[in-house]
Amino acid sequence: MLPVSERDLTESQERMIEAIHIFTDRFKENGQLNEPLVDKMIHFVLNRCMFVYVKTGTFTSAFRLFSILNDRGMPLSNADLLKSTNLGAIVESERMHYQNMWEAMEEELGREELEKLLAYIRLIFVKEKARKTIQEEYEEKIFAKNPNFRGKAFIEYVKQFADIYREKILNAEIQVHNKETEVKYHGLLTLMRDFIPSSDWIPVLIHFVQKFQADDEVYPFLQALERKFVVSWIRGISPTGE
């Protein structure tokens, strides 16, 4: 549990703080610094470790090199790959703005939920189950057919869907004049989200909200989705036709 003063940090900053705490605790014994252990660590770093500095000519090349080198360690997530390829397609003068926009989405949703959202957006475009990795599907079935969608347009599109996903799905909230409808929406959405095995209804709802921008119509539409998906699930048939 992080101290109160550290709760506003980003996920990466939190992990760095946690690592510092772990090392600090490890090098202490009975509240005192374990100097022999520190000396061993210094000797190990100076004699057994190698630091390599790699510099590329362009930001795009840096992303490509990072992706290649990272394959030898922990694989990049689809979100990481899509972030790098789309930021690399943006001119340098505007890149920081879109990088901050993407990182804000990561913080608001969390990396796992952002990964899910990108899969939902792919489904909206492709309208069938993924046959390859999400990254490959984006490259071959979305960006290849819509070259202008790569870069700024894509990140802005994801941001729009992220706001809807956070409010309508994760928070289960709509803004209507009838408080009872808001409560019913929250209850039904929560039940569907937590208990329907398939999540294929989620991109359908997100796309509906994005297209019509009318909260008054969201609850009736969700009711129709619930009937369709639950009946199909009971019958063992995928509502998407897969």
Mean pLDDT computed over 24-53? 87
Distance CA 8, CA 16 (A): 14
Contact 63, 84 (CB under 8 A): yes
Q: Does the residue 182 lie in any domain? A: yes
pLDDT above 60 (res 189): yes
Residue range 206-235: mean pLDDT, rounded: 86
Residue 215's domain spans which residues? 172-242
Q: Is residue 236 part of a domain?
A: yes
> Can you say whether residue 175 is alpha, beta or left, with left for phi > 0 and alpha for psi between -120 and 50 degrees?
beta
Would the pLDDT of 57 be above 50? yes
In a domain, 15, yes or no: yes
Mean pLDDT value across residues 222-242: 69
Dihedral of the alpha carbons of 157, 159, 163, 168, in degrees to the nearest 10: 40
Give the number of other CB atoms < 10 A from CB of residue 122.
Answer: 21
The confidence score (pLDDT) of residue 74 equals 56
Amino acid letter for position 106: E
- For the chain, the first-to-last Cα distance in angstroms comes to 43
Q: Is the pLDDT of residue 10 over 70?
A: no
Average pLDDT over residues 210-231: 90
pLDDT averaged over every residue in the chain: 85
Residue 1 pLDDT exceeds 90:
no
CA 81 from chain centre, in angstroms, equals: 11
The 10s digit of each residue's pLDDT in 81-137 is 899 889 988 998 999 999 999 999 998 998 899 999 999 999 999 988 888 888 889
Cα–Cα distance measured from residue 86 to residue 98, given in angstroms and rounded to the nearest whole number: 9
Residue 179 is assigned to a structural domain of this protein? yes
Reported as type and span, the H/E element at residue 42 is: helix 35-48
User: Does some domain include residue 116?
Assistant: no
61 within domain boundaries: no
Gap between the Cα atoms of 212 and 220, Å rounded? 13
Q: What is the largest CA-CA distance in the chain?
A: 69
Residue 105: closest CA among 34, 24, 170, 198: 170
Q: How many domains does the chain have?
A: 2
Q: In the predicted model, is pLDDT for residue 172 greater than 50?
A: yes
- Per-residue pLDDT band for 224 (boundaries 50, 70, 90) equals very high
CB atoms under 10 Å from CB of 8, counted, come to 10
Q: Is 66 domain-assigned?
A: no
The CA distance from 35 to 45, in Å, is 15
Look at residue 68 in the predicted model and tell me its pLDDT: 63
Burial class from Cβ neighbours inside 10 Å (0-12, 13-18, 19+) for residue 126 reads middle
Whether 186 maps to a domain, the answer reads yes
